[in-house]
Amino acid sequence: MRPLPVPDPGIPDQRSATRFLLWLAAQLWPTIAGGMALAVVSFVGQALMPAVLGRAIDAGLVARDTDALVHWGLILLTLGVVQAIVGIIRHRFASYNWLAGAYRTVQLTVDHANRLGATLPKRLATGEVVSVGTADIVHIGGALDILSRGTGSLFAVFTITVILLVTSVPLGLVVVLGVPVLMVVVAVLIRPLHKRQEAYRDQQATLTTRASDIVAGLRVLRGVGGESVFSARYRTESQKLRHGGVRVARVEALLEATQVLMPGIFLVLVTWLGARFALRGEITVGQLVSFYGYTVFLIGPLRMLTELIDHITRGHVSARRVVSMLDIRPEVVDPEHPVRLPVGAGELVDVESGLTVRPGRLTALAAAVPEDAVAIADRLGRYVDSEATLRGVPLRELALATVRCRIMVADNDARLFSGPLRAELDPHDRADDATIAAALDAASATDIVAALPDGLAGRVAERGREFSGGQQQRLRLVRALVADPEILILVEPTSAVDAHTEARIAGRLGPARRGRTTLVCTTSPLVLDRADHVVFVSDGKAVAEGGHRELLDTEPRYAAVVTRAEEED
């Protein structure tokens, strides 16, 4: 068996949930087929053991034939050994199928999430993504795992039915007629169960999203006194989820009880009929013991068949959600025939606003409305389709990989991830100590690292929660500076720091990016005063440009925006 996860998960068939599951099964057909074959041998071997035991009683004990008893005893021992060995190997195959199906689904969803980029949070809630990556992959893996045991159970039931029909037609008919009855009862219960499970899962995804939003905005909520309001809403939705879980549990309990009751009825009925036939001399004592063994053994395969229906149905529901995610198309895609970017330096131009970012300079963009600056950054980073150009070539004609390689947009929505701080600041592990130290100094973040017991080797908690908002902002700036892209677009990089820190960053950012193209979207006078060039945007258009002090004297609207920002600080 190959190691997991596989290097290339392949191209899934996402036309429907059924086709997706079949595609997954096709990728694993050698181990699935092997698991089925081993399960058949294992379960049929178990099914034959009561028959061999009955023969040992009739031919050995009843007839007092020691040789026959030893003969059938050895056969019984052989069946037991074979069944044990085959069962261990079958379990390995089944576990591999479970893990392979789950891993492959994770790879597909993660790869697609990376391709979607900024489109994903617009189209899918956080809780839904979490549910796909946790609960759904478990159910899909379970659907592949159950195939081998389900197949073995089917063959075991068929084998016992044939033996019973050959030995006693009435007893065989009990199984022949009883198994479909059990399947119908289970199907009747599974339909409402999965409807409730699907509703429960949707509620769970919604609650997860709510919790994520509350945690992300906890400081803001506390600041405006809204913590208790949102906590109350969370408690209300949590109780709804609990009630939904109880409704699911009721049907699950009924299903579990049915899975015990119905095979139990078979056990009682076949044993009672067998005893009557034995008393009338229609079957031997050994056959009666065999029949009892069959009915006891049948409890396992019959429950396995109900699990087969349950797991396949759950897997189908989960596959439907995975396919829905895979069907989401990114807002920005590669052109059919990407063009090559001309060699050399060139201007980055946002045609819609009229902004021109000159190469090798630190340009500041001051917008009367902050949303205009964000929209321009999105267009220049090609996170939305636009007429923006680089070196005279429309960005939409370039491969996305080319744009991402040359243009980096760093905004305050970026997150810090858990792990070593050095790996967080230098994800590609390409920078030396001097480069990281220079970036820390430029972002005025040296004190953050110095305060950590292990320095750069210290671990960052989830979302960097051990850092304040200003510290997180400075570390994000360090990460952008260490990456050292050809063109760096910073959106409000100093909005969460104090004036003294902001002054240090403003004075060091230009030298740190000397010779590289940098655009800073800000209304901070400290940063604007240190920029090589300032562009003022009003109503989505570049209406004035020049030096900071020049614009203060010649453009009243610019002066009003900058003054307001200074008062807010």
Task: Please state, in angstroms and as integers, the Cα–Cα distance from residue 162 to each residue in 159, 167, 210, 264, 443, following that order.
Answer: 5, 9, 56, 20, 79
What are the φ/ψ torsions at residue 423 (nearest 5 degrees)? -65, -30
Assign residue 152 the CATH number of its domain. Answer: 1.20.1560.10
> Does 343 reside within a domain?
no
Residues 321 and 373 occupy one common structural domain: no
Residue-range definition of the domain harbouring residue 512: 348-568
> Does 3 reside within a domain?
no
- The SS3 of residue 355 is strand
Residues 359 and 409 occupy one common structural domain: yes
Residues 265 and 365 occupy one common structural domain: no
Residues 194 and 240 occupy one common structural domain: yes
Residues 403 and 436 occupy one common structural domain: yes
Assign residue 449 the CATH number of its domain. Answer: 3.40.50.300
Residues 203 and 258 occupy one common structural domain: yes
| Two structure tokens written together for 233 | 């809403």
Q: pLDDT tens for residues 9-67?
A: 889 998 999 999 999 999 999 999 999 999 888 888 888 888 888 888 888 777 778 88
> Does 338 reside within a domain?
no
Q: How far apart are CA 380 and CA 361, in angstroms?
A: 16
Asked if 14 and 316 touch (Cβ cutoff 8 Å), the reply is no
Q: How far apart are CA 320 and CA 326, in angstroms?
A: 10
> Does 4 reside within a domain?
no
Amino acid at 341: L
Residues 301 and 403 occupy one common structural domain: no
Residues 297 and 401 occupy one common structural domain: no
Residues 369 and 293 occupy one common structural domain: no
Name residue, tokens 């920029």.
531
Residues whose CB is less than 8 angstroms from the CB of residue 21 and which lie 6 or more positions away in sequence, other chains included: 140, 143, 315, 316, 319
| Two structure tokens written together for 170 | 């009435």
Structural domain count, the chain: 2
Residues 415 and 462 occupy one common structural domain: yes
> Does 10 reside within a domain?
no
> Does 332 reside within a domain?
no
> What's the predicted TM-score (pTM) here?
0.68
Asked if 324 and 108 touch (Cβ cutoff 8 Å), the reply is no
Q: How far apart are CA 509 and CA 474, in angstroms?
A: 12
Residues 313 and 356 occupy one common structural domain: no
Give first-to-last CA distance, the chain, whole Å.
Answer: 62
User: Which run of H or of E encompasses 249?
Assistant: helix 227-279
Per-position pLDDT tens, the chain of length 569: 678 888 888 899 989 999 999 999 999 999 999 999 998 888 888 888 888 888 888 887 777 788 888 888 899 898 889 888 998 998 899 899 999 999 999 999 888 888 887 788 778 766 677 778 777 888 899 899 898 888 888 888 888 778 877 777 777 777 667 767 776 776 676 667 667 766 776 677 677 766 666 565 555 445 555 566 667 777 787 888 788 778 778 877 877 777 777 767 777 777 787 788 778 877 777 777 777 777 777 777 877 877 887 788 888 888 988 998 899 888 888 898 999 988 888 899 999 999 999 999 999 999 999 999 999 999 999 998 899 999 999 999 999 989 999 999 998 878 888 889 999 899 888 899 999 999 999 999 999 999 888 888 888 887 777 888 899 999 999 999 999 999 999 999 998 899 999 999 999 999 999 999 999 999 999 999 999 999 999 999 999 999 999 999 999 999 998 887 665 65
Residues 450 and 552 occupy one common structural domain: yes
